[in-house]
Amino acid sequence: MRIDIITCLPKLLESPFGDSILKRAQDKGLVEVNIHDLRAYSNDKHRKIDDYAFGGGAGMVMMIDPIANCMEALKKDREYDEIIYMSPDGEQFSQNVANELSLKKNIMILCGHYKGVDERVREHLITREISIGDYVLSGGELAAAVVSDAVIRLLPGVLSDETSALTDSFQDGLVAPPVYTRPSEYKGMKVPDVLLSGHERKIQDWRFDQAVERTKQRRPDFDKE
Ligand code: ADE
């Protein structure tokens, strides 16, 4: 899989992709993530990428030409399955959307800023708009990192068998059961006996029951999905 992220703040994305699972996935060749500095595609000698809104109003708007230049350059070399714009008014991101995206080959993600992008970008250059939640971030970068993380950890080989994404909360419509580690007793707080019993079958049943109970309590909405 290949993910191309277009941003005017490339530094903001260095850290999420330069560490831990996302870095290992790239090192193993399971995903290629390329960050593109939008300013490098500006037609302007001052590398300008935004301008005042026609009709007035506060806030700058990202211009279409640097974005189109960058997208065209990328599209010359490969076809994209999805060109995503991160936006608070997009489709709500979910595990289902992550699963779907993890099956794609090439994805482009445009990070918005300021008061948004020229509407013609959204109308003509984008195939999909995604929001990570009902709140406004100062830019799409952190949202793009969230989406990429959720997608990349699903790619075969990224996680080991034990930590496989298939056993995640949400994948089976249940939240995860509680987990414990040593010590088995801390200041009078004890780990449930069944987990120390060594009885594999009982442990599995207990975990399942806990997951069902927790889902009822915490996410009753899961039922309806
Ligand atoms: N850009 C700003 N806020 C956002 C959000 N909630 N989701 C995706 N992109 C965004």
Residue-wise pLDDT for 4-27, tens only, equals: 999 999 999 999 999 999 999 999
Residue 207, strand partner residues: none
- Across the range 176-190, mean pLDDT stands at 97
Distance 44 CA to ligand 1 centre (A): 27
Q: Which atom of ligand 1 is nearest to the CA of 112?
A: 1
Query: pTM higher than 0.85, yes or no?
Result: yes
pLDDT at res. 224: 55
- Across the range 78-92, mean pLDDT stands at 98
- Nearest Cα neighbor of 3 from 34, 36, 41 is 34
pLDDT at res. 112: 94
Helix, coil or strand: residue 168: coil
Assess contact for 6 and 38: CB atoms under 8 A. Answer: yes
Output 68 or 166, whichever has higher pLDDT: 68
User: Which residue type does 75 have?
Assistant: K
Distance 164 CA to ligand 1 centre (A): 28
pLDDT tens-digit map of 91-144: 999 999 999 999 999 999 999 988 899 999 999 999 999 999 999 999 999 999
Residue position matching structure tokens 């277009």: 6
Please tell me the residue having the least CA distance from ligand 1 atom 4. 88
- How many whole angstroms separate alpha carbon 207 and alpha carbon 51? 55
Q: Which atom of ligand 1 is nearest to the CA of 136?
A: 3
- Across the range 61-81, mean pLDDT stands at 98
Output 115 or 61, whichever has higher pLDDT: 61
pLDDT at res. 163: 67
pLDDT at 38 > cutoff 80:
yes
Q: Which two tokens stand for residue 60?
A: 């700058």
**Within 13 Å and on the Cβ side, how many CA atoms surround 96?**
5
Q: Which of 85, 129, 131 to mutate to test the pocket of ligand 1 (most atoms within 8 A of CB)?
A: 131
Q: Which of 6, 89, 113, 132 to mutate to test the pocket of ligand 1 (most atoms within 8 A of CB)?
A: 132
Q: Does any ligand 1 atom lie closer than 6 A to the CB of residue 134? A: no
Output 42 or 172, whichever has higher pLDDT: 42
Output 95 or 170, whichever has higher pLDDT: 95
Average model confidence (pLDDT) across the chain:
94
- Across the range 156-181, mean pLDDT stands at 83
Distance 58 CA to ligand 1 centre (A): 19
pLDDT at 30 > cutoff 60:
yes
pLDDT tens-digit map of 130-167: 999 999 999 999 999 999 999 999 999 999 876 677 66
